Amino acid sequence: MLTSKLSPRDHRPTLKLLLGLLLAGCVAPALAGDPAAGKVKSSVCVGCHGLDGNSPLPATPHLAGLTATYVVNQLRSFKDGSRPSPVMAAMAAGLTEEDMQDIGAWFAGQRVGGIAPQDDTMRLIEDGRQLYRSGNAKTGLAACIGCHGKDGGGLPREPSIPPLRGQKSDYVAQMLTNFKGGMRSNDAEQMMRRIAERMSDHEIQAVAAYVERLNKR
């Protein structure tokens, strides 16, 4: 399903068709937020997510380098409750659609900082690398690489898939655990819940350690 979506032809409507749609008013203008406005609007987020989206707190994700689409999707989910988080529900409650677009544009333009791996996590990271690239045939676990990209950078044509590289390992592990237990259920077509339900705790820890190691967004 996803593979067919990725067919390049789907994304290349002829110029004529595009013009026709534009003239007919059928194409929403590219939802481009204003990063400068987003920077100002995200000043309330700084305490937890860091000045430039590089979070100083353990269980709080980096936002730097996520796609604007993904950030907006998550803010909508926090606001409508489909992704429960008391903290983020309160933060998203007052945001308009325009605020979300601006904030998304700001964080999408930031770079995630380097994070040096601890020596004693190297074996875990290696297990994670295997899993990320090949999945687990025994349990039918799909490889993460197919959706989250070769270097954890996401897929250019699928902006609803978050990049994982450089993300905090304990946050990633928490989210996989939440998808697994159904506490987080805002993933379209249960995509991540179906993945996470097949994962052992060791696999969750390993892949989380690995993606944090992919430290450039």
Tell me which residues touch ligand HEC (CB under 6 A): 2, 42, 44-45, 47-49, 59-61, 63, 66, 71, 73-75, 85, 87-88, 91, 103, 141-142, 144, 146-148, 160-162, 164, 167, 172, 175-176, 186-187, 191-192, 195, 207
Nearer to ligand HEC, 40 or 87 (CB): 87
Nearer to ligand HEC, 14 or 43 (CB): 43
Nearer to ligand HEC, 117 or 142 (CB): 142
Please report where in the chains the tokens 């990271």 appear, as a residue.
125
Asked if residue 93 lies in contact with residue 27, where contact means CB atoms within 8 angstroms, the answer is: no
Q: How far is the CB of 146 from ligand HEC (least distance, A)?
A: 5
Q: In the chain, how long is the greatest CA-to-CA distance?
A: 60
Asked if residue 54 lies in contact with residue 62, where contact means CB atoms within 8 angstroms, the answer is: yes
Nearer to ligand HEC, 30 or 93 (CB): 93
Cα separation, 145 vs 160, whole angstroms: 15
The two tokens of residue 23 are 């003239």
Q: How far is the CB of 2 from ligand HEC (least distance, A)?
A: 5
Please report where in the chains the tokens 């909508």 appear, as a residue.
76
Q: How far is the CB of 106 from ligand HEC (least distance, A)?
A: 9
**CB within 8 A of 187, min separation 6: which ones?**
179, 193
